[in-house]
Amino acid sequence: MKCRVFVDFDGTIAPVDTTDLLLERFAAPDWRQIEDDWKAGRIGSRECLVRRIDPVLAKSALLDLAIGAPSPTAEA
């Protein structure tokens, strides 16, 4: 069996931003300030990503389930 992995870093193939989805569900709320710092140009994109992922509190199996789960804003 072949496996293909698609990485959507800029929102071209996924209907929602998967990183933001995981952060909203599993990270402490201070990730939003980190993103605000990036948007304001105070930090670079690499630092933003590393610092936003650090506070994720879920194990990988739970993250996998969340990615496969429908978005709460997705139309039925």
What pLDDT, in 10s, does the model give residues 19-41?
787 788 888 888 899 999 999 99
- Which tokens is 51 given? 């610092």
Mean of the per-residue pLDDT values for the chain? 76
- Domain ranges across the chain: 18-68
pLDDT at 13: 78
pLDDT exceeds 80 at position 2: no
- Which tokens is 41 given? 């140009």
pLDDT at 49: 86
pTM (two decimals): 0.59
- Which tokens is 50 given? 């590393």
